[in-house]
């Protein structure tokens, strides 16, 4: 995912620093799945309930990142909203 994000960023003409940052930060795209190991490791198809739970991984990921960002004294510039707020 990291290499794809960085490569695509270069191909659409984004600046070098932003391309590198996007490549690094893209590793966090599925961080919410760490809260669902029982589903991630399950062989075979998911049940309807498991599928619905898996769809929540982006919300869980946001919560993880939000808590991480707000607990730091030093702000990570790649995770700061460009409009001046925190994620």
Give rounded-to-5 percent helix, strand, coil for the chain: 65, 0, 35
Domain count, the chain: 1
* pTM of the predicted protein model: 0.66
Show the domain range for 31.
2-79
In a domain, 84, yes or no: no
In a domain, 75, yes or no: yes
Please tell me the predicted confidence (pLDDT) of residue 51. 95
Please tell me the predicted confidence (pLDDT) of residue 63. 93
Question: For residue 82, is pLDDT > 70?
Answer: no
Give pLDDT tens digits for 11-70: 999 999 999 999 988 888 899 999 999 999 999 999 999 999 999 999 999 999 888 888
In a domain, 87, yes or no: no
Q: What is the largest CA-CA distance in the chain?
A: 44
Other C-beta atoms lying within 10 Å of the C-beta of residue 86: 13
In a domain, 86, yes or no: no
């Amino acid at each position: 995912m990291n290499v794809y994000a960085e490569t695509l960023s270069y191909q659409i003409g984004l600046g070098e620093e932003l391309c590198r940052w996007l490549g690094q930060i893209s590793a966090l795209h599925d961080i919410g799945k760490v809260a669902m190991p029982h589903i991630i490791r399950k062989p075979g198809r998911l049940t309807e309930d498991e599928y619905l739970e898996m769809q929540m991984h982006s919300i869980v990921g946001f919560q993880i990142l939000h808590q991480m960002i707000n607990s730091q004294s030093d702000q990570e510039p790649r995770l700061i909203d460009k409009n001046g707020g925190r994620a």
